Structure 1
Amino acid sequence: MRHKLSDPFVRSAKAEVGQRLDISDEAQRGLRLRVSPDPSRPDGMRRVWAAEVRVKAGPKRKITLGEYPEMSLAAARNLAAEIRVEARNGIDRIGEAEKARAAKAADEARKVTVRAVLANYIDMNLSQLRSGAERTKQLQAVLSSILDTHITDMNTAFLQAAIDAKAREGKIVMANRLRSAIRAFTKWAWRRGYVAEDIGAKLDKAGDEKARELTLSISEVATIYQACEKLQEPWRSAFRLLVLTGQRRGEILGLQWRDIKENEIELSGSKTKNGKPHITHLTTAAKACFGERGSPDAFIFGSTGGTSNVSHAKKQLDKILGNDFPSWRLHDLRRAMATALAAGGIDERTVDKLLNHGAVGSAPSAVAGVYNRHDRLPERRVALEKWTSMVTGNSAKVLKIHG
């Protein structure tokens, strides 16, 4: 339908229900008025301006200009005339808009780097985990060379190479833990649409893990205890406290002064591996590992309570012990304590309570929490005194050490 449009005509133009009325303006070539029913409008009609042009050496385009009365008839005619001139000169408004959108999308896509996705993962996931700091360190080390590349450039071969490199060092357990950290990250990235597939699901294990068989003897633990004397602080005291208490490395190295009572270490569930509050008796030898008391929030062994230099300190201790000393880990001290106490007549339940063994379960009631924390405290106190005597007493045979 063609008509020389006027404001009265435009205001009165109506379309039947379920239909659209298209009217070409005889005064401005290419201008269209489209009228369609719309119950939300005062008169029940929606009126839209559009321009229809053919781009020079290009496609025919239909371009929406605006709605009446927000855009007047005069404004619609002027804009349609402008677009028509552009089209004759080969300017394609729709094509240019599509190119701009594509360029913007590509630019946004380039911003989704491994660094950005990893930062989101750390903030949304790892920051909530007890092992979050360790996993963050693992992932940052593995991904350091590709942090500023696009997330989709991360591939299975690159990630597998990192796992295999750790395995070639003979660190099968660490390699498998690294694989677990990577797989958790790639699955998270996939489920949130950053990547099209979970490339971590294809990663192979570094190898089968064998249960550690080494159990340090009393003489060997006593030798380690004596060798700590040659370390600098805070490692001298920190490692000695690990020997004397049999507690986990992270729990001892992360101690704050607020955790130390008169004769006990008292940890809340937020500071223990299994989430259960725990009390550890301090023998006279253990109390000697603490210096002058600081503020409640201050860390006892270092300014941050971190374990960043523990590997270096352990290597120094191994050098002091000499090449003839068995290869051992700090965790072996716990096994040595458990074995020696069991052999010395301490019952298994007391040893388990002393080491705060137990699977993570649902949060205990207030009464159960207090009971678990104090269960068998007298027996645990006797066991630790017995262990301290084994390690530091005259009966403890100290092997020859270097340094």
Structure 2
Amino acid sequence: MSLTDLQIKRLKPPNSGQKTYYDPGLPGFGVRVSQGGSKTFVVVYGKNRQRRSLGRYPELSLSEARILAKRAQADIALEGINAKQPLPLISFDLARERFIADSEARTRERTVDEYRRLLYKHFHFKCQLSELTRDSIASCIERLKSTPSEQQHAFVAIRTMMNWCVKRGFLDISPVPHMAFKSKPRERVLCDRELCILWHRADAFGWPFGQIVQLLILTGQRRGEIVGLRCSWIEDQIIRYPAAFVKNRRPHSVPLGNLAMGIVAKIPGDTDLLFPSRLDRDKPFNGFSKSKAVFDRPLDVEPYTLHDLRRTFSSNMAKLGTPIHVTERILNHVSGSISGVAAVYNRHAYIEEMREAYAMYEKHIQEIIGKHGPDVTSAVR
């Protein structure tokens, strides 16, 4: 019978020295228990019966240790497990730099920027990559539990980096632990009065964040699609997003209503980007956290995210009677009402249908601004 986690937990340290308990299910593989109580997985392999330590339990799980043992016994040098070819010494900082540089050559710019932000903001390991433990990474992730979305994004970033390190031969196996996150379904939809409050606050707040909020309210597009918007993509009152820029890698064309076009026309600047970064004019605006905190400070509204404006847009479109396939075309949803084989054969752009939907929606926005405008000042503390 093979070793189990329960058996390993129950192993008692010897009175002196060390004692190795071998796994009957995998000859040559076992766990060594020291006098001090530490438990280390070991494997004996090769013609010369070489012995190698694989890692300590429970930082290295039993199932992962078995994988390493099988690789070592098979002498798979390409996987970096063979004792004759030790892992290269590389610091976490250097591995992070190389991962970012490699990502820049094969991944969208927005994704690389997010990797860079998350990895430099939340992970500060001053050690060799091979010295990283599951506990140290888990501790960094657990510190973010008060911000569930940021926590999950940070976990994905470090997991992606460590998997890359394994593929490059810098690590035998990723030290990132398996973690599960309980995410509450997003269902926040702002009411008409709240939209009116945000609209007037955006008017007073000004460029760039105020206009970003207003375009998010009016267009239903993703946050990144608005801040990354370029003048050269707008022609004949239609935004034509290139496939490389869009999340689902499909070209996306969406018309602008007259109200939205008026906002775009008044945006100042001398770059192709409508909302360039303050520090780098060639990169889009990215100061969301600080700007939104200042923007929301005087508002008497329930907590919301900028993505809630996209959900609110979709909900209002439904309330106004817009056909679902038109709304989904506006939102550029891949798995919508027109998907699969139907999506392959249906190449109709729905530009005119979207234009009509936007005209109806902008009329609705103007009506609620007029209706709730006189009393929104009471919502500003």
TM-score above 0.5: yes
1:150 partnered with 2:120: no
The 8 Å contact of residues 350 and 376 in structure 1, kept in 2 or not, is answered as yes
Q: Which of 190, 193, 196 is the equivalent residue of 2:169?
A: 193
**Secondary structure of 2:239's partner?**
strand
In structure 1, C-alpha distance between the alignment counterparts of 2:187 and 2:114, rounded to whole Å? 25
In structure 1, C-alpha distance between the alignment counterparts of 2:238 and 2:354, rounded to whole Å? 12
Residue 109 of structure 1, CA deviation = 5.2
- Letter of the structure 2 residue corresponding to residue 241 of structure 1: L
The 8 Å contact of residues 155 and 199 in structure 1, kept in 2 or not, is answered as yes
The 8 Å contact of residues 350 and 380 in structure 1, kept in 2 or not, is answered as yes
Q: Deviations over 1:95-149 (max 9, x none)?
A: xxxxxxxxxx99x955x21122112212223542232210221112223352xx3
1:209 partnered with 2:206: no
Matched residues, number = 281
The 8 Å contact of residues 239 and 253 in structure 2, kept in 1 or not, is answered as yes
Taking structure 1 as reference, are residues 143 and 318 closer, same or farther at Cα in structure 2, changes over 3 Å only? same
In structure 2, C-alpha distance between the alignment counterparts of 1:294 and 1:174, rounded to whole Å? 32
In structure 2, C-alpha distance between the alignment counterparts of 1:258 and 1:357, rounded to whole Å? 24
- Letter of the structure 1 residue corresponding to residue 326 of structure 2: T
Residue 252 of structure 1, CA deviation = 0.5
Give runs of aligned pairs for residues 160-199 of structure 1, distance below 5 A. 160-167=138-145, 169=146, 171-199=147-175
What is aligned with 1:261? 235
What is aligned with 1:121? 99
The 8 Å contact of residues 265 and 281 in structure 1, kept in 2 or not, is answered as yes
In structure 1, C-alpha distance between the alignment counterparts of 2:135 and 2:103, rounded to whole Å? 25
**Secondary structure of 1:280's partner?**
strand
The 8 Å contact of residues 144 and 150 in structure 2, kept in 1 or not, is answered as yes
**Secondary structure of 2:235's partner?**
coil
What is aligned with 2:218? 244
Residue 401 of structure 1, CA deviation = 2.8
Q: Deviations over 1:197-219 (max 9, x none)?
A: 2111x2423x3111112111222
What is aligned with 1:159? 137
The 8 Å contact of residues 163 and 178 in structure 1, kept in 2 or not, is answered as yes
Taking structure 1 as reference, are residues 181 and 193 closer, same or farther at Cα in structure 2, changes over 3 Å only? same
Taking structure 1 as reference, are residues 124 and 305 closer, same or farther at Cα in structure 2, changes over 3 Å only? closer
In structure 2, C-alpha distance between the alignment counterparts of 1:220 and 1:292, rounded to whole Å? 24
What is aligned with 2:330? 354
Q: Under a length normalisation based on structure 2, what TM-score does the superposition of the two structures give?
A: 0.67
What is aligned with 1:136? 116
What is aligned with 2:372? 397
In structure 2, C-alpha distance between the alignment counterparts of 1:218 and 1:375, rounded to whole Å? 30
1:308 partnered with 2:286: yes
Residue 292 of structure 1, CA deviation = 6.1
**Secondary structure of 2:119's partner?**
helix
In structure 1, C-alpha distance between the alignment counterparts of 2:249 and 2:172, rounded to whole Å? 36
In structure 2, C-alpha distance between the alignment counterparts of 1:114 and 1:294, rounded to whole Å? 40
In structure 2, C-alpha distance between the alignment counterparts of 1:134 and 1:278, rounded to whole Å? 22
Structure 1: stretches of 5+ with no match in the other structure: 1-104
The 8 Å contact of residues 139 and 182 in structure 1, kept in 2 or not, is answered as yes
Q: Deviations over 1:64-108 (max 9, x none)?
A: xxxxxxxxxxxxxxxxxxxxxxxxxxxxxxxxxxxxxxxxx99x9
**Secondary structure of 1:233's partner?**
coil
The 8 Å contact of residues 88 and 170 in structure 2, kept in 1 or not, is answered as no
Residue 396 of structure 1, CA deviation = 4.5
The 8 Å contact of residues 247 and 334 in structure 1, kept in 2 or not, is answered as yes
In structure 1, C-alpha distance between the alignment counterparts of 2:291 and 2:195, rounded to whole Å? 17
Q: Which of 194, 197, 210 is the equivalent residue of 1:220?
A: 194
**Secondary structure of 2:101's partner?**
helix
In structure 2, C-alpha distance between the alignment counterparts of 1:352 and 1:265, rounded to whole Å? 16
The 8 Å contact of residues 121 and 185 in structure 1, kept in 2 or not, is answered as yes
In structure 2, C-alpha distance between the alignment counterparts of 1:292 and 1:161, rounded to whole Å? 44
**Secondary structure of 2:380's partner?**
coil
Taking structure 1 as reference, are residues 109 and 191 closer, same or farther at Cα in structure 2, changes over 3 Å only? closer
The 8 Å contact of residues 253 and 305 in structure 1, kept in 2 or not, is answered as no
In structure 1, C-alpha distance between the alignment counterparts of 2:245 and 2:262, rounded to whole Å? 23
**Secondary structure of 2:182's partner?**
coil
The 8 Å contact of residues 215 and 336 in structure 1, kept in 2 or not, is answered as yes
Rg bigger for which structure? Answer: 1
Residue 294 of structure 1, CA deviation = 6.2
- Letter of the structure 2 residue corresponding to residue 326 of structure 1: E
Residue 381 of structure 1, CA deviation = 0.8
The 8 Å contact of residues 151 and 195 in structure 1, kept in 2 or not, is answered as yes
In structure 2, C-alpha distance between the alignment counterparts of 1:358 and 1:129, rounded to whole Å? 20
Q: Deviations over 1:304-327 (max 9, x none)?
A: 3434211111112211323xx111
What is aligned with 1:232? 206
Taking structure 1 as reference, are residues 293 and 176 closer, same or farther at Cα in structure 2, changes over 3 Å only? closer
The 8 Å contact of residues 100 and 116 in structure 2, kept in 1 or not, is answered as yes
Residue 186 of structure 1, CA deviation = 1.2
Taking structure 1 as reference, are residues 292 and 348 closer, same or farther at Cα in structure 2, changes over 3 Å only? closer
Q: Under a length normalisation based on structure 1, what TM-score does the superposition of the two structures give?
A: 0.64
